Amino acid sequence: MHIRNPVEWSVDQLRLAGHAVESVGRAGREARGLNAPAPAVRQIAAADIRDALRRGLDDFAAFRTDVAFLCVIYPLAGLVLARLAFGYDLLPLLFPLASGFALIGPFAAVGLYEMSRRREQGSEEGWADAFRVVHSPSFGAIVTLGLVLMAIFLLWLGAAMAIYDLTLGPEPPASITAFAQDVLTTARGWAMIVVGIGVGFLFAVLAMSISVVSFPLLLDREVALGTAVMTSVRAVIANPGPMALWGFVVAGLLVLGSIPAFLGLIVVMPSLGHATWHLYRKVVR
């Protein structure tokens, strides 16, 4: 009898849930006859990244009170993750858990895309607009893609734990101080850092490639999930430099937002969410 580890089991459950949600979404899309051609992809430059960030900050300023209310969940989630790490021998997973914001962030920001979309159309009603995504014809596809990102996140945690076991583990750290010393002052610790960053980079590239414009596209147009994902991949392939810059900006801002007890995420997450909508507008015709 084969006993599966928690990550493997969780991925299987997400896959099954994804099939169920996608079946519902597929039925709805077929009823609407979603056979639209794949959108065209533009080439952008670093200046477009800066402009998308500026517009994202402008949206954040316009919805400042509403978005701060919505996004207080991000630092709270970060603090919960930190508490779990320190309280249940999950200290080696603290950084992988925190970096998971970058992997699942595109799905968590769907409501922010909707707010930016409605503001672009001239509506500035407030935070309730974020919940109107449930009425989107592509809501099933949005949830399915979100489950895919969650599966990638769980696989990343499994990989991170395996890297720790092969370097500093498999025993849990004796204390926070001992863990920090092992990570920063030993060859095995530096090996864990280098390998972890390399593997994490691959997971981040995968997640960004399939999601950077797919969620906004699903909100904006009635397209199939596969079309949205392939459009996102094409956007990354057509703009390797600007998309790499976007990835580094996202990672850097998330790190800065996480340092002061995750409180900076109240500003960073909504600003990046709104900016992602404007980046989509620049990339997809």
- pLDDT (tens digit, 9 = 90+) per residue, 59-94? 888 876 555 545 555 555 555 555 555 554 667 777
Tell me what pLDDT residue 118 has: 84
Tell me what pLDDT residue 215 has: 93
Which token pair is 273?
A: 């969410």
The reply to whether 236 falls in a domain is: yes
Tell me what pLDDT residue 83 has: 57
The reply to whether 135 falls in a domain is: yes
Q: What is the mean pLDDT of residues 238-255?
A: 90
Whether residue 229 contacts residue 145, with contact meaning beta carbons closer than 8 Å, is answered with yes
What percent of the chain is modeled with pLDDT above 90? 32
Kindly report the number of other CB atoms within 10 A of residue 212's CB atom: 25
Strand partners, 41: 284
The reply to whether 209 falls in a domain is: yes
**Residue 231: which domain range?**
6-283
Q: What is the mean pLDDT of residues 117-145?
A: 75
How many domains does one find in the chain?
Answer: 1
Whether residue 38 contacts residue 227, with contact meaning beta carbons closer than 8 Å, is answered with yes
Tell me what pLDDT residue 202 has: 92
The reply to whether 78 falls in a domain is: yes
Tell me what pLDDT residue 159 has: 92
Q: Which residue has the higher pLDDT, 84 or 207?
A: 207
Which token pair is 149?
A: 């990102």
Q: Which residue has the higher pLDDT, 159 or 35?
A: 159
* Segment holding 138, helix H or strand E: none
Q: What is the mean pLDDT of residues 183-202?
A: 91
Tell me what pLDDT residue 48 has: 95
Tell me what pLDDT residue 241 has: 94
Tell me what pLDDT residue 252 has: 85
Which residue from 258, 214, 212 is spatially nearest to 75, judged by alpha carbons?
258
The reply to whether 32 falls in a domain is: yes
The reply to whether 105 falls in a domain is: yes
The reply to whether 1 falls in a domain is: no
Q: How confident is the model at residue 262 (pLDDT cuts 50, 70, 90)?
A: low
Task: Say whether pLDDT at 127 is over 80.
Answer: no
pLDDT in tens, 7-63: 454 445 445 544 544 444 444 444 344 556 788 999 999 999 999 999 998 988 887
The reply to whether 117 falls in a domain is: yes
| pTM value surpassing 0.85 | no
The number of residues in the chain equals 285
